[in-house]
Amino acid sequence: MKKEQISELFSRFEEACYDLEGLECWSGRELMGIFNYQDWRTFTSLIQRASKACESSGERIEDHFVVYHKMVLLGSGAERKVEDVALTRYACYLVAQNGDPNKPEIAFAQTYFAVQTRKQELIEKRLLDVARVNAREKLSKSEKKLSGIIYERGVNNKSFALIRSEGDKALFGGKTTQIMKKKLGVPTNRPLADFLPTLLIKAKDFATELTSHNVIDKNLYGDKEITKEHVENNSEVRNILINRGVKPENLPASEDVKKVQRRIDGTEKEILKEIRKKKK
């Protein structure tokens, strides 16, 4: 997400916040527009799912979701009574968690409502953390998909591990997975990808998806053909990176993605803790 878009969304969420008996709240109707949803009925389905998640967490729904009615001005100049919902920060977070993650507004909201201080630089950092975790999950799914495809084509578990290793060797300029682990300080029992920066996780994912596609498209069978395909794809991805001034084997290690995931997972507890402080 570009800095300009982050800055614009940051301002919109800040301006939409209002005080309700000492608690910061947001109008469901206003959030619907910021979240880029057009229909109130569709948006209320997100609110309903969020309220169920709230109840499941042990919180009282009425403490975070307050239904009320207000008058709105129509184009004709007349007024009409409509339903709205006042949402606490925790409620907003849960609504965002139940939204369409492909919408940049939803991705931003998930982080905005998670960061207590609402400082823009912290939001930018957390968005990068979320992007890295999502990229790692996507790579795991791509590798699982590839394994499923090639197991039907004469490749067993041992051979699949070798294919992945040869792919890494091509991506990292001749350096094996084990050499890269040692270079980056990765524990021997952990996957290399858990400590790679987002760019390289996505590079591995792209090469893996290419292999999956071409194994089917070219009707490849057996270790030799599939290994050759995977090596070529990783080599091509490496060439793209090299041409853009990025040498994969020279990039530093990133924080353990499992630690990043745990930090993200602690969000709900932190939001509730902050809300309870403000209630006292």
pLDDT tens column, 223-257: 999 999 999 999 999 999 999 999 999 999 999 99
Residue 260 to residue 240: CA distance in whole angstroms: 28
Beta-carbon contacts of 132 under 8 Å, excluding residues fewer than 6 positions away, are: 197, 198, 201, 254, 257, 260
- 124 vs 34, residue with greater confidence: 34
**Could you identify the residue written with the tokens 């207590």?**
116
Three-class secondary structure of residue 118 per DSSP: coil
pLDDT at 190: 95
Collapse the DSSP code of 40 into the 3-class scheme (helix H, G, I; strand E, B; otherwise coil) and give the result.
helix
Q: What is the mean pLDDT of the chain?
A: 89
User: What is the SS3 assignment for 65?
Assistant: strand
Of 102, 106, 104, 123, the residue nearest 43 (C-alpha): 106
Produce one character per residue of 255-269: b if its CB has 16 or more CB atoms within 10 Å, e if not: eebeebbeebeebbe
Q: What angle do CA 133, 139, 142 make, to 5 degrees?
A: 145
Paired with 18 in beta bridges are 25
**DSSP secondary structure string for all residues of 180-215:** HHHHHT--TTS-GGGGS-HHHHHHHHHHHHHHHHHH
Q: What is the mean pLDDT of residues 49-59?
A: 91
Contacts of 226 (CB under 8 A, 6+ apart): 150, 153, 155, 163, 211, 215, 220
Q: What is the largest CA-CA distance in the chain?
A: 74
Structure confidence by residue, pLDDT tens digits, 91-148? 999 999 999 878 889 988 888 887 754 566 677 788 888 889 999 999 999 999 999 9
Residue 276: pLDDT band with limits 50, 70, 90: low
Identify whether the C-beta of residue 198 lies closer than 8 Å to the C-beta of residue 138: no
pLDDT tier for residue 279 given thresholds of 50, 70 and 90: low
Ramachandran region, residue 37 (left: φ > 0; alpha: ψ -120 to 50; beta: rest):
beta
Q: Is the pLDDT of residue 6 over 90?
A: no
